[in-house]
Structure 1
């Protein structure tokens, strides 16, 4: 199986296919196995997955009887994802992907922490599930297709997540940080990126590790909310009313940049920053040397947000004089359990698809999110049936040989 899996991930590139309120937050779902990770917006039950092509979702509409108090679960139909990983790879890129895939497929243990000579621990299912085809490609792009660096950074992120406890943060643990709604996952931009609103003026806690855990948690949940075909998020940061005490320290900013740039590469699609007082502009100048040039290109200051986000899903209280039409009111007891319930539904469905597909490293994210895409296992079986033999012609375990063969195949 290792050989055929290695084949499919190298050159068989991505196949082209086309009650949410509660009186108070007392989550039990948040204690779910952290190995259950993101999922799709297609409706899934424990026993049945309704194919997206058979279920026509109506256009999203805001409630007419008052403000919205829960998250938005689907983009506008006009929003179209534009994923870099869906684009054809060059022959050289296919070879480099196959090389990284072959190496990752052989990982059995990894360091438990980022410390030198850290004890090794077995690779867990949720970590194997995280190692999708698109994940490997994101790290390759982030390292400018340097295969040793991509492998080093992939391993570093898994070790960091273990050490940091990123997969153990629960909705109950994070809940006190979000009681004022200082971070919100709400709506989608014009490219179907889920929008994460950050509002420093609503800071409600003193500086602690949990503040940074909060951002890490919300970034992961924003990824959970991505529809099929989308890999990046849109951040909307509004500094209206933020005093000096609400501006992060340089140390905090560097910790956040570490999460974004080193452990979530290629996840930032846009960062729309509004209503900056002079001291915040100074703060951005201070941290500018630590911001990767690619990340800096994605940062837009004081622009019309309606250029990037459909007005129907753009919060009317965000963005200064050029607001959207969405009447939203943050009520923690309504929003937080509704978000957690939807996240848990998606995570369960994502994992069920991964298991149904054969629990393969290098699985397609579009398939895992319920898109119109076959699983990696289906692609392998089809390729083998067409050839009448195990694709790559290698014996079980000859991952490097298969990777070399795979790079020659065309999509």
Structure 2
């Protein structure tokens, strides 16, 4: 559970003119020194030069290939905008929320970090996940806000998680054809015994993938390679159900594609056992044993998965580089939110440095329109 001290709700600040004059963008962001970028890599847009002089790549990519971008979302209909406004008004009224999911649990004030999580796009993801049922979206958002407190999402540090990733069993590297950051899961590199920290490890990496999403991108690509894995290296059915619960209930609308390859018989059996618990929409995003270059540019894909990138996992290099990059992006994200007035319902596109301006709040009912 987070130990962050409760912060009073800030007074509204109207800095829209200043904000709209800012020309911040992801391309203008300076990457940390220990992160691959166009200068250190010898390539463009974070793509490393593939020649013998550079040797194997050991650091994460900061950006996708120039032509790999998410498709723009359709404009909201009048009915959808009304439902969004109702949801925004409801969550904006939260002052105290429960500290745990237990019945009659104590409550404490909502803090800035939690308010920052409640972006415009976050609210819309929950509306889409509940088929635009506003009361259901309010309920699920509150459940996730409480889960994030109770599970200690904000307290999962790089140092605490580091032992789990010592062998590179999870790697964030490259972007797919739609600009989704790729999270590789490598069961054959399992290095720890089954524990809660293994699940916390996945949650930590999901949060880092979200940090690396470009403006307008809301989903990730999951690449699971079971080659050379053993039955003992794969999660139990119980752990699989726990992970599915977390993904489906607390990270809705985040999975863009799951690319699963080299399935041995026992993994096929595992998927059959957990299949009844997988949402039909999630199932539709799962692709089995398809050529990964159909989904990820070879220039962004590891050689071990059929791509061009000669990558070697060196924990002492990769782990600090990944976390430095993510910490820089978190800092810039929060600073933009603070400059815009710390609003619930702020635009993620703006917060991630895109061209879209801050949300303009109008009236007394929490209605919001995104400035173009």
Higher relative contact order (CA 8 A, sep 6+): 1
Using the alignment, how far apart are the partners of 2:118 and 2:129 within structure 1?
15
1:71 corresponds, among 35, 60, 69, to 60
**Partners of 1:159 and 1:42 in 2: CA distance:** 36
In structure 2, C-alpha distance between the alignment counterparts of 1:305 and 1:98, rounded to whole Å: 40
Match of residue 244 from structure 1: 231
Write the distance in 1 (CA, Å) between the matches of 2:178 and 2:344: 27
- Does the CA contact (< 8 Å) of 1:196 and 1:235 recur in 2? yes
Map 1:286-305; keep pairs closer than 5 Å: 286-305=273-292
Out of 237, 249, 256, the position equivalent to 1:269 is 256
TM-score under structure 1 length normalisation = 0.79
> Within 5 Å, which residues of 2 pair with 1:107-256?
107-256=94-243
CA distance in 1, matches of 2:27, 2:258: 24
Deviating 4+ runs (over 4 angstroms): 39-42
Which residue is 2:307 aligned to? 324
1:336 paired to 2:322:
no
Following superposition, the deviation at residue 59 of structure 1 comes to 3.5
Secondary structure of the corresponding residue to residue 304 of structure 2: coil
Is contact 2:170–2:185 with CA below 8 Å preserved after alignment? yes
Find the aligned partners of 1:213 and 1:40 in 2 and give their Cα distance. Answer: 28
| Structure 1 residue 275, shift from structure 2 partner | 0.4
Q: 1:41–1:73: 8 Å Cα contact kept in structure 2?
A: no
Q: Indicate yes or no: 2:26 matched with 1:43.
A: no
Matched, 1:98 2:85: yes
Equivalent position SS for 2:113: helix
Deviations 1:228-283 (A, max 9, x none): 11000000000001111012111100111111100000000000000000110111
Pick the aligned partner of 1:59 from 35, 40, 45: 45
Q: Distance in 2 between matches of 1:41 and 1:341?
A: 17
Q: CA deviation at 1:41?
A: 6.2
Structure 1 residues 176 and 40: alpha-carbon distance in aligned structure 2, compared to 1, 3 A threshold: farther
User: Structure 2 unaligned runs (5+)?
Assistant: 1-8, 32-42
* Structure 2 Cα separation of the partners of residues 358 and 144 of structure 1: 30
Q: Secondary structure at the match of 1:317?
A: helix
Q: 1:235 to 1:410 in 2, by over 3 A?
A: closer
| Distance (whole Å) between structure 1 residues aligned to residue 358 and residue 44 of structure 2 | 26
1:367 matched residue in structure 2: 350
* Maintained 8 Å contact 2:301/2:308: yes
The secondary structure found in structure 2 opposite 1:339 is helix
Answer whether contact 1:40 1:226 (CA < 8 A) is retained: no
Is the 1:41–1:346 Cα contact (8 Å) retained in structure 2?
no
Contact 1:134 1:364 in 2 (8 A): yes
Equivalenced residues, count: 342
- For residue 332 of structure 2, give the secondary structure of its aligned residue in structure 1: helix
